[in-house]
Amino acid sequence: MTAVQGITVDIPTEDGVADAYLVHPGDERPRPAVLFYQDAFGLRPHLQSMADRLAEAGYTVLLPNVFYRNGRVPVFDLPEFIDPAANPNTWQQIMPVMKALTPELAMRDAGAYLRFLADSPLVADGPVATTGYCMGARLALLTAGTCPDRVAAVAGFHGGQLATEEPDSPHLVAGRVTAEVYFGHADQDASLPPEQIQRLEEALTAAGVRHRCEVYEGAHHGYTQADTPAYDQEAYERHWTALLDLLERTF
């Protein structure tokens, strides 16, 4: 297993400074980069451990605090084990912050994250990959459609609201995506009903995007998050297989 080094970095954006977790193999050679988008609960130890695992596989990984406008990490006062059903205040903290991060703001930030990676001596020349979880799956797809020349691979897991009927729905960027795309949906996920899964599939197919969308049977929204009740070990390991396969094909 490759030893990795992780540090906190500050990334200048058009609206301030985003704190982020940057982790890379310890030899400090330039490696392909992965822009890792958080879920709604924010940048925290479990997500850092996931970024570490990606770095162990040979990648430089940037995990930004996408809620930086609301403060540095930790943005929310959450327990080590996050169970919103047991604490109704959880979503009261998070929802206003999520809603304030519009696609326009998020993609302005994406440009800053991609510039940071392009300038880093720890990142190999060429395009990057994006991966995201829950709301991060939306951000990963939007980034690929907004910056198609910079993103060669997109992965999203238990993403919600990926193909709504709203004018800013993520699936509407499909025609601009040049990356290979993989989605691992949860079949027990009210935030991504079957009609949205179908709409996303149809949009990617119509745009000629090389992609694969799979539904993880029995998995719930948040199945990769070991610090929540939604965690599913089997689905979690399946997601790693799919993600690493995608990255190996890309890089």
Decide if 134 is catalytic: yes
Cα–Cα distances in Å, from 35 out to 38, 56, 60, 131, 200? 10, 15, 9, 6, 22
**Annotation marks residue 221 as catalytic:** yes
Tell me what pLDDT residue 239 has: 98
Q: pTM of the predicted model, to two decimals?
A: 0.98
Q: What are phi and psi of 119, to 5 degrees?
A: -90, -10
User: Are the C-beta atoms of 143 and 109 separated by less than 8 Å?
Assistant: no
Domain span at 218: 4-250
- Catalytic residue, chosen from 24, 147, 171, 189, is 189
> From CA 163, how far away is CA 235, in angstroms rounded?
22
Residue 147 is a catalytic residue = no
Q: Which of 175, 169, 131 is closest to 152 using CA atoms? A: 131
Domain count, the chain: 1
Tens digit of each residue's pLDDT, the chain (251 residues): 689 999 999 999 999 999 999 999 999 999 999 999 999 999 999 999 999 999 999 999 999 999 999 999 999 999 999 999 999 899 999 999 999 999 999 999 999 999 999 999 999 999 999 999 999 999 999 999 999 999 999 999 999 999 999 999 999 999 999 999 999 999 999 999 999 999 999 999 999 999 999 999 999 999 999 999 999 999 999 999 999 999 999 99
Q: For position 11, which CATH number holds?
A: 3.40.50.1820
Q: Which of 24, 185, 221, 239 is catalytic?
A: 221
Active-site residue, from 24, 39, 109, 134: 134
